[in-house]
Chains A and B, each alone.
Chain A
Amino acid sequence: SQQGEEDPQALSIQEGENATMNCSYKTSINNLQWYRQNSGRGLVHLILIRSNEREKHSGRLRVTLDTSKKSSSLLITASRAADTASYFCATDQETSGSRLTFGEGTQLTVNP
């Protein structure tokens, strides 16, 4: 079963705008990772944030984690058409070891 829920399920923006996606989860975690997937292909690893971190940056990506609310957000700044993809959060729960539990994903469309 999916632990996480992404919000929104779909997001459509114009190039140059920022895109924010949210992820919620239900149990205590070790880490949270964000992935991108283009048209049913493989998952591309974007960023990992540990449970003791609150914010992390990588290029145009900014990820926040609020363990008290069991939620995370992914911000993509200055979006490009190439950012069009599905974005998933994945958590590894303290009690499930190596298993990643994925959210249902947000479909981002960036219009040129």
Chain B
Amino acid sequence: KAGVTQTPRYLIKTRGQQVTLSCSPISGHRSVSWYQQTPGQGLQFLFEYFSETQRNKGNFPGRFSGRQFSNSRSEMNVSTLELGDSALYLCASSRTGFKTEAFFGQGTRLTVV
């Protein structure tokens, strides 16, 4: 059974640009969550999608958005990139999102210059 796949693995972008990250969950899993990991703030929840609907949202500005497709694959978009957006972005897949194991992908390392 394939794990959670995130693409791309690495990205370098310039301030002001926008970026789209992709996550393919484990087959049969309908919940996809996104997290940002930085040395200063640790792991922070961005948002969760379930059945193409955003079900939960963290405290991030509106520049961070996402969506989920009918096959449960999810994308995360960050517009008007800032230096502080440099981070490891992790996607988590779970069967229902509630009270079940969450499995993470390898992450996308975003560097904003």
Question: A: which residues have CB within 8 A of B?
Answer: 2, 30-31, 33, 35, 40-45, 48, 50, 88, 90, 92, 96-105
Contact = CB atoms under 8 A, between A and B. Distances in A.
B102 A97 contact: no
Contact of B33 (A50, A100, A103): A100
Interface string B30-50: 010101010000110100101
Contacts of B109: 40
The B interface is mostly helix, strand or loop, or mixed, namely strand
Nearest to A103: B42
Contacts, number: 68
Interface stretch (B13-21, B73-81, B90-98): B90-98
B29 to A, nearest CB: 12
Given A2-B42, A90-B43, A98-B50, 18 more contacts: A42-B4, A42-B90, A42-B106, A43-B92, A48-B100, A48-B101, A50-B99, A88-B43, A90-B102, A96-B56, A97-B97, A98-B31, A98-B56, A99-B33, A99-B45, A100-B45, A100-B92, A103-B42
Contacts of A48: 100-101
Interface string B42-73: 11010010100001101000000000000000
A45 B42 CA distance: 17
Please give me the 10 A-B residue pairs with the lowest Cβ-Cβ distance, nearest first.
A98-B97, A42-B106, A102-B43, A43-B104, A99-B45, A98-B48, A42-B104, A30-B99, A42-B107, A48-B101
A31 B102 CA distance: 11
B72 to A, nearest CB: 14
B99 A105 contact: no
Nearest to B96: A98
Given A97-B97, A98-B56, A40 B88 contact: yes
